[in-house]
Amino acid sequence: MTERPVFREDHALFREQVRRFIAERIAPHYPQWERAGITPRALWREAGEAGLLNCQLPEPYGLGGDYGHAACVIEELARANFLGIGFSIHSDMVAPYLMQYATHAVRDAWLPKMARGEAIGAIAMTEPGAGSDLKAIRTRADAVDGGYRLNGQKTWITNGVNADVAVVVATVAPELGAGGLSLFCVDLRQPGVSRGAPMAKIGQHAQDTAELFFENVHLPADCLLGEARRGFAYLEEQLAAERLAIALRAGASAEGMLGESVAYVRQRKAFGRTLIDHQNTRFVLASAAARLAMLRCFLDQCLGWQMQGRLDATTAAMAKLNATEIQGQVLDDLLQLHGGYGYSSEYGIGRAWTDARALRIFGGTSEILRDIIGRAL
């Protein structure tokens, strides 16, 4: 990889630490976790001990680093083709909501445990009838003495089987649409919370994904994150960083698979020559390398802006749209170079191809992102 000025020396040293952790603690076991459909809780505790969780949060809530440290974890997991590890949802989505909007008591109760991997976080926005259209959310939090009563259903919840705590989006005033949304920190181990069976997916099999059900769940008043009816505004505040995280995953995934594919075509033969000796192969690889080089420049610029607190929602939408669309196209081309082996489980390109498909859906579909960008023109 060429030099990337957005990262400092401490980032480079941390990246090496992340790579060692992945090689020693994840790579040997990942096929087993894929078959099991879940990542063991022990991995989270090991990641916490290694300082890989809540990287951008101050101590004692996290590593005490910045978004650059978080990016190292995001990128190296994706580059190694382990998109099914749910660390980013936990560290770069759930934890910032708690850090930014929770009371001191709630922060102290959850964030140190999340940093150590003793508690696992999830974010519960999507419902059977509400995906990108947040104003259609029907999960309700009704005010009662001492707090709120939560009722509703959430679906496609990453870390949904393992999670101990979730940031839940619910309406406190359905008649106000998006203006009635609020965010809550919900202990998923309490009475009234139940989970569906792990959801079958076409990819990211090691990632536990489940439905969550809330039936008359009592939430103390301090479980409200920030102010009531400010949920939609808070979601918009955090979405730029969340979409950048997805974009970084997409870019690193494609780069990792490009490297794997170059190695493959150098040793695989067809018609008496290695695949790399065929002009078409070189053209496919050249196009992929050129597109990813341009994407990397843009993503690093966005990362720099995020580290300076300057990344805006429209630019983040561009980053996710470009990265995930380019990832999908590049991986499809690289899979084609593998021929029949690309469709088998023997090589990582097949898993990368199926795992990547979700990135164009969650965090805002490509269609939603185009609308956001178009309205800003």
Active site residues: 242
HEC assignment per residue over 98-127 = HHHHCCHHHHHHHHHHHHHCCCCEEEECCE
From CA 361, how far away is CA 169, in angstroms rounded?
Answer: 19
Residue 73 to residue 4: CA distance in whole angstroms: 16
Q: Are 317 and 375 in contact (CB under 8 A)?
A: no
DSSP 154: E
User: Pick from 21, 17, 107, 98: which is nearest to 60 by CA?
Assistant: 107
Are 268 and 275 a contacting pair, CB within 8 Å? yes
In the three-class reduction of DSSP (H, G, I as helix; E, B as strand; rest coil), residue 151 is classed as: strand
What are 169's strand-pairing partners?
183
Give the span between the Cα atoms of 25 and 18, in whole angstroms. 10
Sign of the Cα pseudo-torsion (321, 327, 330, 335, in order): negative
CA 42 – CA 117 distance, rounded (Å): 8
Which position has the token pair 């070189």?
Answer: 282
